[in-house]
Amino acid sequence: MADKLAAIRYEIALANRILANEGVVDAFGHCTARHPTNPKRYLMSVSRAPELVEPSDIVEFDLDSRPVKKDKRPFYSERVIHGEIYKARPDVMSVCHHHAPSFMPLVITGIDYVPVFHLGAVGGAYPPFWDQRKEFGDTNLLVVKPEEGASLAKRLGNHKMVLMNRHGVTAVGANVRETVFRCIYSAKNAEYQIAAAGAGAVDALSAGEVEQCAAIHTKTTGQARAWEYWSVRLKKAGGMPKGRALSR
């Protein structure tokens, strides 16, 4: 158990750093995981830029996003994005909230995300939009109240991502690596989709292609290859977390 917990804390730190190194997150954004043995808990860093997260920064929260142990360090204010999704979606083992630059043209205009190349299928076709203003009026756009988190989770439904108007994206996965893979390749897809739309008529994947491409790219072979690649890139950039990966 202790080993499993140490392994997932390292994995979460590594995931946050990879997402930063690959340009998905900057000073803001967060990637979390459900507790490996207690499904009523999730694991999230204290308030730090993702690129700087260490395993020792990872704290345990209950699904109402309250810390399980007292901790004097500041927490992220948007914890309920994670807590409410873990509550609503038992299948979800990892959540990432981000503002990847290539997604911003979509969330600012409300243009639908559509897979335009095989790897973009991991984001799914036509993920829903959630506009905080519609239900909650003018806010500071941070998702901080439980009812805001619950509303977002409801809008996510059974999708893999939900796009948040004038804000960003929240994506989920069956494990940390799948979530990271989804965030990185959906961000590339968003980039290519907007670039292609500016050049001509977009030829999107068919529903059948989306299904088959998503299936193959959530298998472990491609994900293992990509994870090794992103880890080596992070290492070259001098960005590895302290400690070391434990067997999973």
Q: Which of residues 42-101 bind a copy of itself (CB under 8 A)?
A: 47-49, 51-52, 74, 77, 99, 101
C-beta separation of 83 from 63 below 8 A? yes
One of 11, 78, 84, 178 is an active-site residue; which one? 78
Q: Which CB sits closer to a copy of itself, 38 or 77?
A: 77
Residue selected from 6, 7, 88, 111 as contacting a copy of itself according to rule CB under 8 A = 111
User: Taking CB under 8 A as the rule, does residue 116 contact a copy of itself?
Assistant: yes
Q: Which residue has the tokens 């997932």?
A: 8
Which window, 33-41, 84-92, 147-155, 220-228, contacts a copy of itself (CB under 8 A)? 220-228
The contact mask relative to a copy of itself for 188-207 (x = CB under 8 A, - = no) is: x--xxxxxxxxxxxxxxxx-
Residue selected from 23, 68, 135, 232 as contacting a copy of itself according to rule CB under 8 A = 232
Measure the CA–CA gap between 234 and 244, rounded to whole angstroms.
Answer: 14
8: helix, strand or coil = helix
User: Taking CB under 8 A as the rule, does residue 105 contact a copy of itself?
Assistant: yes
Q: Which CB sits closer to a copy of itself, 86 or 103?
A: 103
Q: Which CB sits closer to a copy of itself, 63 or 223?
A: 223
Q: Residue 51 catalytic?
A: no
User: Taking CB under 8 A as the rule, does residue 246 contact a copy of itself?
Assistant: no
Which residues sit opposite 59 in a β-bridge? 44
Interaction residues for a copy of itself, span 154-193 (CB under 8 A): 165-168, 188, 191-193
Q: How many residues are given for the chain?
A: 248
CA distances from 47 to 26, 52, 55, 90, 224 (A): 13, 10, 13, 25, 29
Measure the CA–CA gap between 245 and 248, rounded to whole angstroms.
Answer: 8
In angstroms, give the least distance from the CB of 67 to a copy of itself: 16
Which window, 33-41, 59-67, 108-116, 147-155, contacts a copy of itself (CB under 8 A)? 108-116
32: helix, strand or coil = strand
Interaction residues for a copy of itself, span 18-47 (CB under 8 A): 26-28, 47
Measure the CA–CA gap between 175 and 93, rounded to whole angstroms.
Answer: 5
76: helix, strand or coil = coil
Measure the CA–CA gap between 21 and 226, rounded to whole angstroms.
Answer: 14
- Beta strand 129-130 with 161-164 is parallel
Mind telling me the catalytic residues? 78
